[in-house]
């Protein structure tokens, strides 16, 4: 449904990215009022914001005073999204300042508030900024983790504003939660998600793999971010853009995925294994491209890969929640129940694949089986909807 959105813009060079974010929001039918800080207009002028939004732009609470904009705009908003959120703006918001229209709106808003920080690495990592971020999160605001990459000038590191499309997707996920988005229920939780399909090399140009696109795992990651979690996404051979606010670790093979997941397990409250991991790998990998011989190929000898999900189940500490996905082509429930028992996890999400189902699609349907005997059916719908159900089930199992 169309929503009323306040797009706050801080005084950072990344303000130019907010223009594309605004376009995505308005093209989706949302009514967007841009509220910049005074100094941000040095980067992008008011005329640009007015032309793109079709709404008036001001930085002052003393314009159109009869409409009491510093109160009315916050009261009527469905979402306040601040991008970029500079170190100065985070500090003013955390201390409850109300010295311009944007900070006044932040005090009067009774809707979800999302900050997308952007600044140099040293500023992001400074204890003062970290304390301000912690304060805002404790108050129920969603403060995304910045991306890592090229910053202003030659600098590179964490502090980069996520790309506009990823910020748009984060906003969509928060709006979809409505009032629930005001209290991020995964705030303070560290979660690990695996996504994509592993590849096992035969030679430098060939591999054994599967059709997984990573869409379900990425939906799980972006949804967890929107619910306030600190997210590590272990991604195998996925071409999707990084979810805003998630730390992404890229792997290729099952062995690499195992190493990444075991390394992340100790600090995690939950692990959701949505990746399609190869059951087998070639016994040997040819250092050179395998050539045709005219007499047919040599027999391909395979060996089993480690069972990552089962290993996670045996290594986990008390209180951790482990969930797996099972892709099946027949006897879904029977096979899912067997895997749930064999893997030792808390949840097994079973979905049917093949013939245009699940792999590479934007929708999914599944049955979530619980170790406690529960059965939760999720009808076909966007993969983000299934992701929300999975996190509901995970959250219910936290000690």
Q: Identify the CATH number of the domain in which residue 354 sits.
A: 3.40.50.10300
Q: Please check whether residues 205 and 317 belong to one and the same domain.
A: yes
User: Which DSSP category does 253 fall into?
Assistant: S
Q: Please check whether residues 206 and 123 belong to one and the same domain.
A: no
Q: Please check whether residues 270 and 310 belong to one and the same domain.
A: yes
186, 218, 188, 190: which is closest to 317 by C-alpha?
190
Q: Please check whether residues 174 and 116 belong to one and the same domain.
A: yes
Residue 39, domain CATH: 3.40.50.1950
**Residue 180 pLDDT:** 72
Lowest mean pLDDT among 4-8, 178-182, 307-311: 178-182
Burial label, 242 (beta-carbon count in 10 A; 0-12, 13-18, 19+)? buried
Arithmetic mean of pLDDT, 233-241 = 95
**Residue 32 pLDDT:** 98
Asked whether the bond before 84 is cis by omega within 30 degrees of 0, the reply is yes
**Residue 292 pLDDT:** 85
Of 128, 160, 182, which marks where a domain is finished? 182
Q: Please check whether residues 243 and 119 belong to one and the same domain.
A: no
Its pTM stands at 0.87
1, 393, 9, 378: which is closest to 178 by C-alpha?
1
Condensed to tens digits (0 to 9), the pLDDT of residues 120-165 reads 999 999 999 999 999 999 999 999 999 988 888 788 889 999 999 9
**Rg over CA atoms, the chain:** 23
Read off the pLDDT band of 295 (50, 70, 90): confident
Condensed to tens digits (0 to 9), the pLDDT of residues 206-224 reads 999 988 899 999 999 999 9
Strand partners, 244: none
Helix or strand run (H / E) with residue 202: strand 200-203
Q: Is 27 helix (H, G, I), strand (E, B) or coil?
A: helix
Strands 113-117 and 147-150: unpaired
Of 182, 199, 217, which marks where a domain is finished? 182
DSSP code string of 75-111: HH-SEEEEEEE-HHHHHHHHTT--SSHHHHHHHH--S
pLDDT > 90: percent of the chain: 79
d(CA 80, CA 64): 20
CB atoms closer than 10 angstroms to residue 31: 16
CA angle 11, 12, 18 (to 5 degrees): 95
What are the residue numbers of the active site?
A: 210
User: Which DSSP category does 243 fall into?
Assistant: P
With tokens 């936290």, the residue in question is 398
Q: Please check whether residues 235 and 286 belong to one and the same domain.
A: yes
Residue span of the structural domain in which 26 resides? 4-182
**Residue 356 pLDDT:** 62
**Residue 357 pLDDT:** 59
d(CA 324, CA 144): 26
Which are the contacts of 81, defined by CB distance < 8 A and separation ≥ 6?
5, 6, 7, 8, 21, 114, 116, 167, 171
Residue 354 scores a pLDDT above 70:
no
Residue 251 scores a pLDDT above 80:
yes
**Residue 359 pLDDT:** 72
Q: What mean pLDDT is reported for the chain?
A: 92
**Residue 211 pLDDT:** 84
Q: Please check whether residues 58 and 78 belong to one and the same domain.
A: yes
Condensed to tens digits (0 to 9), the pLDDT of residues 55-99 reads 999 998 766 666 666 688 989 999 999 999 999 999 999 999 999
**Residue 352 pLDDT:** 77
Burial label, 139 (beta-carbon count in 10 A; 0-12, 13-18, 19+)? exposed
Is the Cβ–Cβ distance between 112 and 80 less than 8 Å?
Answer: yes
Between 307 and 361, the higher pLDDT residue = 307
Which residues of 356-397 form beta strands (DSSP E)? 363-370, 375-382
347, 374, 352: which is closest to 363 by C-alpha?
352
Q: Please check whether residues 256 and 131 belong to one and the same domain.
A: no
**Residue 62 pLDDT:** 66
Q: Output phi, psi for 24, to 5 deg.
A: -60, -40
Residue 103 scores a pLDDT above 70:
yes
Q: Please check whether residues 385 and 236 belong to one and the same domain.
A: yes
Of 182, 200, 226, which marks where a domain is finished? 182
Q: Compute the Cα dihedral for 36, 41, 46, 50 and give only its sign.
A: negative
């Amino acid at each position: 449904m169309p929503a009323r959105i306040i797009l706050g813009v801080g005084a950072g060079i990344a303000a130019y990215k907010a223009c594309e974010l605004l376009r995505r929001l308005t093209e989706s039918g949302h009514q967007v009022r841009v509220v910049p800080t005074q100094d941000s207009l040095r980067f992008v002028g008011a005329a640009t914001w007015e032309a793109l939004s079709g709404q008036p732009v001001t930085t002052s609470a003393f314009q159109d005073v009869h409409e009491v904009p510093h109160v009315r705009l916050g009261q009527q908003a469905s979402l306040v999204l601040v991008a970029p959120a500079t170190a100065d703006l985070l500090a003013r918001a955390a201390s409850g300042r109300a010295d311009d229209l944007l900070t006044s709106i932040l005090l009067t808003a009774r809707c979800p508030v999302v900050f997308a920080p952007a600044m140099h690495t040293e500023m992001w990592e400074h204890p003062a900024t970290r304390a301000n971020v912690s304060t805002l999160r404790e108050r129920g605001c969603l403060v995304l983790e910045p991306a890592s990459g090229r910053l202003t000038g030659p600098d590179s590191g964490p502090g980069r504003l996520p790309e506009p499309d990823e910020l748009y997707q984060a906003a969509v996920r928060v709006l979809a939660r409505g009032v629930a988005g005001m209290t991020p229920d995964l705030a303070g939780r560290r979660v690990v998600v695996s996504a994509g399909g592993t590849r096992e090399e035969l030679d430098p140009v060939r591999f054994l793999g599967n059709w997984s696109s990573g869409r379900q795992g990425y939906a799980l990651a972006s949804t967890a971010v929107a619910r306030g979690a600190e997210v590590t996404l272990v991604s195998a051979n996925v071409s999707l853009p990084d979810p805003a606010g998630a730390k992404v670790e890229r792997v290729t093979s099952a062995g690499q995925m195992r190493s990444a997941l075991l390394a992340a397990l100790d600090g995690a409250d939950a692990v959701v294994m949505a990746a399609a991991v190869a059951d087998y790998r070639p016994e040997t990998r040819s250092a050179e491209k395998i050539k045709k011989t005219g007499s047919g190929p040599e027999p391909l000898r395979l060996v089993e890969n480690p069972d990552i999900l089962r290993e996670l189940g045996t290594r986990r500490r008390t209180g951790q929640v482990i969930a797996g996905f099972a892709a099946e082509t027949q006897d879904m429930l029977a096979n899912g129940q067997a895997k749930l028992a064999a893997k030792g996890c808390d949840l097994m999400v079973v979905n049917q694949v093949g013939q245009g189902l699940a792999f590479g699609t934007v929708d999914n349907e599944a049955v979530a089986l619980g170790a406690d005997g529960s059965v939760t059916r999720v009808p076909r719908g966007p993969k983000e909807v299934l992701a929300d159900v999975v996190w509901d089930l995970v959250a219910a199992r936290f000690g």
